Structure 1
Amino acid sequence: MEREVPMKSIAAALRRERGAAGLSLTEVARRAGIAKSTLSQLESGQGNPSIETLWALSTALNVPFSQLIDPPRPRVQVIRSDEGVAVASAQADYQAVLLAAAPPGARRDIYRIDAEPGKARASDPHMPGVTEHVLLATGRALVGIADEPVELRPGDYISYPGDLPHVFEALEPSTRAVLVSEHT
């Protein structure tokens, strides 16, 4: 599946963040080391910025990279291994796909999960405001809200409210995942 940079969202984010910083097009372009005309095009939703350009702009605006490319997220989100917005490098065969951005003031704990088929790991709700993020590395698993788990394959990602009953059930031997527990 071809993944496109969400130019409409990026354009709105650039305008929003530049306005919040109280900076002119000229000043942001100067700080980022890009042409003013390039920034103007990006803010109008034209062009296809490289990862380097977006990083330079996020640095110039003093905001996290993810704040420029992360659209609003639904309560439960699944990103399959061939989905998501990829931002390519202009310098190498390299691309980055943002899976999740941390809200301001959040704490994130990262775990490696090793699971085998059999009994599912059922979790009671955590503290209010907890969100869990799972990226499946190997095997297959049912993951998510207890009454609506989603089958994941290697490379698939899901996020869901950790303050609801949730489950992780390995469907194949040697299932491995990365779990991030986000506390706001």
Structure 2
Amino acid sequence: MRSEDPERREGTADEFGDVLAAVGPRLRELRRRSGDTLTAVSKSTGIPVSTLSRLESGQRRPGLELLLALAKTYRVPLDELVGAPASGDPRVYPRPFTRDGMTVIPLTRKPGGLQAFKQILPAGPDDREPDPRSHEGYHWLYVLNGRLRVILGDRDLVLGTGEVAEFDTHLPHWFGNADDQPVEFLSILGPQGERFHIRARYRPG
């Protein structure tokens, strides 16, 4: 019986370790993107706050049971949570998901740093009650098509096609349709301290 090549076995173990090591930053990024606290995620998953904190910091390697619960909470496929796409492949395979009636298409896949998304609000009157939220980070957005209602703190704004906004996400914010037409916009989210070159431009509704 032919024994397995030790170097190959070691390489496979290293790759597996790299995959698990990347889960922590990815979990932190998913939580930051959703605007949830560790306490909120703990309540929805049943995982203790201390365990979640250790997972995000890389001090604990996640088991399948924990990963399944977190994937369900963040509404992402398990393979996306563990970064399954083959390394070295520059192509991005976006998996759209829906949150609060909005379709979100990830355009980047690397955890940490800048994250880019295309977001689509469907046509029709927006009957949602604005629910501004705040979280760590910095947000830059560009309206591709339509008119986007943006609530930033105590300001209620409307951005049209081609307009740009940039703001610290500690400021409570919310997005919605400004009319009954669909809206498409690009979002780039950066960690706290990141700043973009394009300054904010606002146009009152």
TM-score category (smaller protein):
0.3 to 0.5
Q: TM-score under structure 2 normalisation?
A: 0.35
From the two aligned structures, give the one with the greater helix fraction.
2
Bigger relative contact order (CA 8 A; separation at least 6): 1
Q: TM-score under structure 1 normalisation?
A: 0.39
From the two aligned structures, give the one with the greater strand fraction.
1
